[in-house]
Amino acid sequence: MSTKPRSTYHHGDLRQSLIDGAIALISTAGVSDLSLRQVARHIGVSHNAPYRHFEDKEALLAAVAEEGFKALTLTMETARQDTPPGTKAALTAIGSAYVRFALAHPAHYRVMFSEFRSNFHDYPSLAAAGQKAFMVLVSTIAAGQTAGIFKAADPWELARVAWSLVHGQALLILDHRIPVASEAKLEEFLQFSCQLLISGMASV
C-alpha cells in the first residue's frame, strides 16, 4: 500500500518519491536509523537506484531539508498574513507558527537541523532556502522597528535571539524534555514565551 505498482522500467518521478519515502520512514523510525536501501525497498526500486538522483545519502537528506525549509517559510508567511504588519501580534504569530511547524513535521524538522558532515553550506540551494526562512523573521522584526514597537538594534541580531528561542523550544518539546500535557497547555506556553521575549524586545 505504500508503493503504487510500476509497470514501466522507468519510475517516472523517482527523485520526489525518494524524498517522500525518506520522510515516511524517518517519521516511524527516526533519522539516525534511516537507510538508503530501506527507502529504495519502500518505493519498490533497486538498492542502487537512488544514486541516479542523489550523490549519496546525505544529499537525499539535504533535499529533504530544503523541502522542509520551503514549507516552513510558507507556513510563517501565511501566519503573518493573518495579522496586521509591524505589530507584536505579527511576531507572535510567526513564532508560534514556527514551533507548531516543527511539532507537526518532526521528521522534516529533525533533518533540517541534523548535523551535515559537510557543512550545510555545501548545498547551496539548501542554504538559500534556510536563509529565506530566516529572512521572514528578520523582516517582521524590522517592520516592527519601523513602526516603533521594537527597540532600535540590529534586526539580524534580534532575529537570531528570537530564532534561538523558538528553535530551542521546538527541539526540547520534540525530545520530550519540555512536557506538553495538552494542546491548551502548549498554546499557553507558546504565548507566554513569545510575550516574554517580545516585552524584552519592546522599545523604551
Q: Which residues in the 58-87 window bind DNA by CB under 7 A?
A: 58
Look up residue 118 and give its three cell numbers.
Answer: 559537510
* Residue tagged 533497486 (cell numbers): 46
Q: Of 5, 119, 181, 184, which lies in the binding site for its own copies, with binding defined by CB under 8 A? A: 119
CB atoms within 10 A of CB 184: 9
**148: amino acid identity, one letter:** G
What x/- string results for residues 14 through 53 when contact with DNA is judged by CB under 7 A? x-------------------xxxxx------xxxxx-xxx
Q: Which residues in the 123-142 window bind its own copies by CB under 8 A?
A: 130
CB of 22 to its own copies, least distance (A): 15
Q: Tell me which residue of 185, 200, 163, 198 sits closest to 89, measured CA to CA.
A: 198
What x/- string results for residues 23 through 52 when contact with its own copies is judged by CB under 8 A? -------xxxx-------------------
Look up residue 16 and give its three cell numbers.
Answer: 520526489
**Separation of alpha carbons 174 and 110, rounded Å:** 9
From the list DNA, its own copies, none, which binds 128 (C-beta under 5 to 8 Å, kind-based)?
Answer: none
